[in-house]
Amino acid sequence: MNDPLQHIFESVSLLIPEVIITASLIITILLGLILKTNKHVILKTLALASYGLAIFIVLHHLPTTSTLLFGGMIRIDEFSSYFKFLFLTGGILGVWISGPQKENSSAEYFLLFHAVILGSCLLASSMNFIMVILSLELISLSSYLLTGFGFNKKSAEGSLKYFLFGTVATACMIYGISIIYGIAGTLDFSSELFLKNLIALSSPLLLIAGLFTLAGFLFKITAVPFHLWAPDVYESAPTPVVAFISVVPKLAGIAVLTKFTLAIHLFGQSGYNWQVILSVISLLSILIGNLSAIAQTNPKRMLAYSSVAQSGFLLVGLVAFGMDGIHFMLFYSTVFLVMNFLVFNALNQFENSYGELGIQSLAGLGTLSIIPSLAILIGFVSLTGLPPTAGFTAKLFIFGSLWGAYQQSGELILLVLFVIGLLNTVISLFFYLKIPYYLFIKEKKETANSIKSDVAGNLLSLILVIVLFYLFISPDKLMGWINKITFVL
């Protein structure tokens, strides 16, 4: 009896960031019951402090070797630690832009933020399908509830659609996992038994199971064909929530998808070409996301389709099926987090001053709201992938890895993905620069007041802009850290 308990205590001692988030979650519940005044300030400070402390622990206690915890359910390594750093950074940025509005001041609001980050950290470390399902559900259920925090009819409708689509995707995923378990005889997708049994059976059933399992992960990263929920959810949810769920759950999905695809690929010994399958998904996500975004008149719906395209670009790094591709995908994930929050922070400032706006309603506001307007311009330039921003560097890296993969394998679909991916940079100009065009070129049709003073929002925009320029000028510092990550399934 003592040995299992000792193992559990040792495992918990290596999960300090998760313990900090769990403790913050519990304290948030208690404070929600006790506090009557200044609730938003106290709960926001607690969240920022706990995320900051967790980041400190992650950065100063990076694992030098992979360590299995809880009987192999979780593995602590450099790969998962880097994603934890991104999740916690996303949590800080999401809480930072959450203003003192009524819907953002409840304990439940911050509690759900904690739950999403906790689930994401566990998901990035998961090495067993049971842990994957539990972590995904913790993220998903919390995200569904956060979407409804607009407390209006549109927000409730978006939350319900998110829930229904998510439930179907999860059901498909669990069905696929059950088939894989029947074939492999184990739920540990990194074990030798898993690899041995899947190589021994080249059945169409394995392809079907893999595709069903992919459904849950593709839903989480908002990739085609599981992207239909995104426009309604992005439009209806509060902007700080949209900024948060558009980044943290997506990156958590990318982390586990990386592990799953490497496992199902069987180190190149699979009877099915998963590189081609992922390439097609990436290609369709980029095309459908960008082409759909062109026709949008609502900024948040446009950003929803942009997010679909960005999922495709993230998958490009994974499609290479090499260490370089994974490293460049991590770099792209970092840049994506920064530029996405930069755009949503600026959009949130506009909404706080003028209410919800259509793209045409932004006409002429650039001269009245200089800092948010410049921030949104730089954010869109980076999302497009143009210099002198880190978006250019990130796309250069992942397409470089894709070209290397094409030269090595000779797969025609990789060349098609390479060409169409680059051409979509031009397509994206038509919608990414639409908002800056209305802000700076179009004249305002009616008198509008200047944007409300938002020191915290302007400071955040300044920090994020500096990061984007810095990563363009000197990406070697971050890549030096990322290149030290040795990822072995």
Q: Does 185 have pLDDT greater than 80?
A: yes
Is 416 inside any structural domain? yes
**Residue 172 pLDDT class (50, 70, 90 cuts):** very high
Neighbouring CB atoms inside 10 A of 138's CB total: 18
Averaged pLDDT for residues 183-211: 85
Distance of CA 388 to the CA centre of its chain: 24
CA distances from 220 to 112, 137, 153, 284 (A): 17, 11, 24, 16
pLDDT, one tens digit per residue, over 349-358 is 888 877 777 8
Q: For the chain, give the percent of residues with pLDDT over 90.
A: 45
- Mean pLDDT, the chain, rounded, equals 87
8 pLDDT tier (thresholds 50, 70, 90): low
Taking 80 as the threshold, does the pLDDT of residue 443 lie above it? no
Residue 74: strand pairing partners:
69, 126
pLDDT of res. 333: 94
> What pLDDT is recorded for position 192?
84
pLDDT class for 1, splitting at 50, 70, 90? very low
Q: Would you place residue 96 in the very low, low, confident or very high pLDDT band (cuts 50, 70, 90)?
A: very high
Mean pLDDT (whole number) for 118-130: 92
Residue 445 pLDDT class (50, 70, 90 cuts): low
The better pLDDT of the pair 48, 359 is held by: 48
Per mean pLDDT, which range of 123-127, 151-155, 166-170, 176-180 is the poorest?
Answer: 151-155
Residue 285, pLDDT > 90, answer: yes
* Per-residue pLDDT band at 194 (split at 50, 70, 90): confident
Q: Say what the pLDDT of residue 76 is.
A: 87
Q: Is residue 323 part of a domain?
A: yes
Biggest CA pair distance of the chain = 75
Residue 332 counted as domain residue: yes
pLDDT beyond 90 at 275: no
- Binning pLDDT at 50, 70 and 90, where does residue 75 land? confident
Q: Is the model's pLDDT at 447 over the cut of 60?
A: no
260 belongs to a structural domain? no
Q: How many domains does the structure of the chain reveal?
A: 1
pLDDT band at residue 452 under the 50/70/90 scheme: low
Express each pLDDT in 324-376 by its tens digit.
889 999 999 999 999 999 999 999 888 887 777 788 888 878 778 888 889 99
Give the total residue count for the chain: 489
Type of residue numbered 198: L
Residue range 250-269: average pLDDT?
87
- Please compute the mean of the pLDDT values over residues 60-86 and round it to a whole number: 83
Residue 398 forms part of a structural domain: yes
Is the pLDDT at 202 greater than 80? The verdict is no
Residue 391 lies in a domain: yes
User: Dihedral, CA atoms, 79, 128, 336, 391, nearest 10 degrees?
Assistant: 60
Q: What is the arithmetic mean of pLDDT over 43-58?
A: 92
Residue 213: what pLDDT?
92
Mean local confidence (pLDDT), 137-159: 89
Read off the pLDDT band of 178 (50, 70, 90).
very high
Report the interhelical angle of 412-432 vs 390-409 (nearest 10°).
160
Q: Would you say residue 120 has pLDDT above 70?
A: yes
Contact predicate 313/283, CB 8 Å? no
* Residue that wins the pLDDT comparison between 203 and 275: 275
The number of beta carbons lying within 10 Å of the beta carbon of residue 481 is: 17
- Output the pLDDT for position 450: 61
Tell me what percent of the residues of the chain surpass a pLDDT of 70. Answer: 93
Q: Which domain holds residue 285?
A: 276-489
> Is there a domain that residue 245 lies in?
no
4 pLDDT band (50/70/90 cuts)?
low
The 10s digit of each residue's pLDDT in 393-436 is 999 999 998 898 888 887 888 899 999 988 888 888 888 888 88
What is the predicted pLDDT for the residue at 313? 92
Instruction: Considering only residues 267 and 165, tell me which one the structure prediction assigns the higher pLDDT.
Output: 165
Poorest-confidence range of 66-75, 137-146, 248-257? 66-75
* 395 conformational bin, left if phi > 0, alpha if psi -120 to 50, beta if neither: alpha
The Cα–Cα gap between 29 and 17 comes to 19
Contacts of 78 (CB under 8 A, 6+ apart): 62, 63, 484, 485, 486, 487
Mean pLDDT of 22-49: 88
